[in-house]
Chain A
Amino acid sequence: MAAPRCPECGSASLVEDAHYAQQQLVCASCGCVLAEGLLTTTYTDEEHLREVAYSQSTGQKEQLSRCLQRGIRRVQDLCKVLQLPAAFEDTAVSYFQRALQLPAFHLCSLEKKEVLGGCCVLVTCREHNWPLSMGTVCSLLYARQELFASVFLSLQKELQLSVPALSLADLVTTHLSSFRLLQPSANIPAAFLEDRERLLGRTLGLVELSRQAWLVTGRHPLPVLTAAAFLAWQSLRPGPRLCCPLRRFCRLAGVELPPPAHLRLRELLEVLLAMASQLSWLRGFKLDKKTVVKHVGDLLQHRVFLLRKAFRELDGDEQDTAPGQGSPGQDPGCPSSLGTQAQGCPPAGKRPGGPLRLLLPPCLLHPRKRLRAPAPSAVALTGDEPISDSEIEQYLRGPEELQAFRKAKGWL
């Protein structure tokens, strides 16, 4: 930067001088004041075109407690790591400041305060429909899931927030972008590489199918996502990929394999197999869990129709009980052979593939609890029945027992 000159006398000899406490840039020859250090901390800062933050120059930070400062810094770091838009940072910091003032969080442990910062970031992301799962935040903060859960719920209650639900479709998009199978790499065979858009489209279709088949409600979202992504990837090029198990797929993709993913995969394959039994051009084949993967594309394309045909609804309007009526609202994309088949659909027992199963959540199809019949109460109690002495005495220790017990306790 060229040496500044005094506007009045043109001299180049400028000195930085302090007039009382105020920094001033003064010309040595004529005494003209060029600049006063009001808005910047030092002239050198401004000279080097470095922006001096308002918070630094006005002592705003000193008004905040050190704990709050540290917490705000953590929240800001978290936002930067997650590459969130700038607006999210301010919202998250404001939530954090509000929360920390409340008695519930003011005196809690440092660990909890850090988790609170993570919760504020999560709430901000949810409100802007930015898909961020709790698992991700927990792993970034090295926080325990139970602690995170309790802090999140109490934050919701204290600040009276209604946090929108996690959008599964958006989560698919962000989760898939972290998959390493989308770019060429040394340890990934060429046959395993996949185009991002194709994988995304098919995974979204499978996730939507899972949602309709009650596989998503009440369950962790990530295992379903992982299973759907795996099936989608396999189905896009079944030949070389069918032999690759789920564990290896996750290792190659560089993502964690959540334990329930195997179960979700099995459930999803069952649904696909049931649907495949209704596809006329597949009836001839005896499909199993491996071979049905090849036809996932077709199954997804006619998903709406197949779901209705392959499963019974819980309500009375089951199509198989009314063979006279045609299946209403058929998928217009399906070939005409399917249409005639549907109109003449046989009752449940004679349907190829055995009797239809109900489209229900797996917890209803395979109830694990042995449901106890309600204990019948023979007599109407009033609560004031007489209590016999013998009944009470059965709960009291006799003298011999007392002695024996005392002796036994003495040994302990």
Chain B
Amino acid sequence: SSFKDDFSTSPHLFTPMSPYDVELPIQTAEDGVFASQLSQSKELHTDFSSVDLSFLPDITQDNKEQNLSEDGHGTQKELDGSLPSNEDSGVSTDESSLSHPGTAQPSPEAPDDCPPLTPMTPVTPPTSAESSGIVPQLQNIVSTVNLACKLDLKNIALHARNAEYNPKRFAAVIMRIREPRTTALIFSSGKMVCTGAKSEEQSRLAARKYARVVQKLGFPAKFLDFKIQNMVGSCDVRFPIRLEGLVLTHQQFSSYEPELFPGLVYRMVKPRIVLLIFVSGKVVLTGAKDRSEIYEAFENIYPILRGFRKPS
């Protein structure tokens, strides 16, 4: 199919199947689709066989169960079953690691048509040998769009089932739709804010649906200047972090006040992302305008956090 042509000219070490990876759930790669796609890409890029995949943990179903009994963190493993707790061990370069790759690669859905969104720099979750192997998951996207017409909010609140309007509290209609599960703030100037989507495409689709609702209510709504304003991602590094140590070594970027907030606020300069780092190893990344910033920020922070893995 046509998408493969786009990537044959630029031989990356590993390229995603689509420039915008839609969903990157942290799942075990048990789907056959995954393995077949991988073998397809082997044919495409001749240098793929020389890629060192030894960093990938050896993920099998047995491995997952073994880890469950080992530390009894059943709930944790259900979610992130792909990464065993002892990820330093169990690294193998045999065929089994290729057929059951770790979470480093995105699970490519089958995009048969060219993605309409203009691809910017190829958004590759980094898969170099030193990468973390963990991909942050997007949790929330905030976007804005201009409907370019004045709106009668009272009218909208009257005619729409899914709208709430309380002018004394807030000067906008709060509208919700079920699929994609999102919330929109619609202002009388015609500007709209859409929140709650888990991907850029979902946010755009949701915004279009809200615009369509407003259209059906009789307003000449357009769909101008759709822009992603903020993206929030989260992930888990799977080990506890000494926050008091981190704030000492990275004082100029970190703010850790246990009396105020249990997490450490790390303001990364490049890319300009704010990370909330918690003692449990969970990391929240926010302030991104593009998904690549979240990945980049996490790849920057991961080696720093690894440095605090050993207790003092």
Residues of A near any B CB (own CB < 8 A) = 133-135, 149, 152-153, 156, 162-166, 211-212, 214, 216-221, 312-316, 358-361, 363-364, 367, 370-377, 379-385, 387, 389, 391-397, 401-402, 405-406
**Contact assessment for B251 and A361 in the assembled complex, using a CB-CB cutoff below 8 Å:** no
Known A-B contacts A374-B27, A405-B158; the reply to A316 vs B89 at CB < 8 A is: yes
Report which residue of B117, B137, B204, B260 has the largest number of chain A beta carbons within 10 angstroms of its beta carbon.
B260
- When chains A and B are docked, how far (Å) is the Cα of A392 from the Cα of B161? 11
**Contact assessment for A397 and B160 in the assembled complex, using a CB-CB cutoff below 8 Å:** yes
- When chains A and B are docked, how far (Å) is the Cα of A393 from the Cα of B160? 9
- Name the 7 nearest CB pairs between A and B, nearest first: A383-B204, A383-B201, A381-B201, A218-B262, A380-B109, A377-B23, A374-B25
Which secondary structure dominates where chain A touches chain B?
loop
**Which residues from A are CB-within-8-Å of B117?**
382-383
Interface size on B, residues (CB 8 A): 71
**Contact assessment for A396 and B216 in the assembled complex, using a CB-CB cutoff below 8 Å:** yes
**Contact assessment for A392 and B76 in the assembled complex, using a CB-CB cutoff below 8 Å:** no
**Contact assessment for B208 and A387 in the assembled complex, using a CB-CB cutoff below 8 Å:** yes
**Contact assessment for A370 and B209 in the assembled complex, using a CB-CB cutoff below 8 Å:** no
Known A-B contacts A217-B279, A380-B18, A387-B208; the reply to A315 vs B86 at CB < 8 A is: yes
A348, closest chain B residue (CB):
B70
A-B contact pairs, 6 of them (CB 8 A): A363-B280, A372-B79, A380-B18, A380-B22, A383-B208, A402-B159
**Contact assessment for B280 and A361 in the assembled complex, using a CB-CB cutoff below 8 Å:** yes
Partner of B204, one of A384, A401, A402: A384
Q: Does B205 contact A (CB under 8 A)?
A: yes
- When chains A and B are docked, how far (Å) is the Cα of A144 from the Cα of B6? 59
Residues of B near any A CB (own CB < 8 A) = 18, 22-23, 25-27, 71, 73, 75-76, 78-79, 85-86, 88-89, 109-111, 113, 115-117, 137, 158-162, 177, 179, 198-205, 208-209, 212-213, 216-217, 239-244, 247-248, 251-252, 255-260, 262-263, 278-281, 309-312
Known A-B contacts A164-B251, A381-B202; the reply to A402 vs B158 at CB < 8 A is: yes
- When chains A and B are docked, how far (Å) is the Cα of A281 from the Cα of B205? 68
Known A-B contacts A214-B279, A371-B76, A377-B23; the reply to A220 vs B240 at CB < 8 A is: no
**Contact assessment for B216 and A379 in the assembled complex, using a CB-CB cutoff below 8 Å:** no
- When chains A and B are docked, how far (Å) is the Cα of A392 from the Cα of B259? 48
**Which residues from A are CB-within-8-Å of B259?**
133-135, 166, 220-221
- When chains A and B are docked, how far (Å) is the Cα of A190 from the Cα of B247? 44
**Contact assessment for A396 and B217 in the assembled complex, using a CB-CB cutoff below 8 Å:** yes
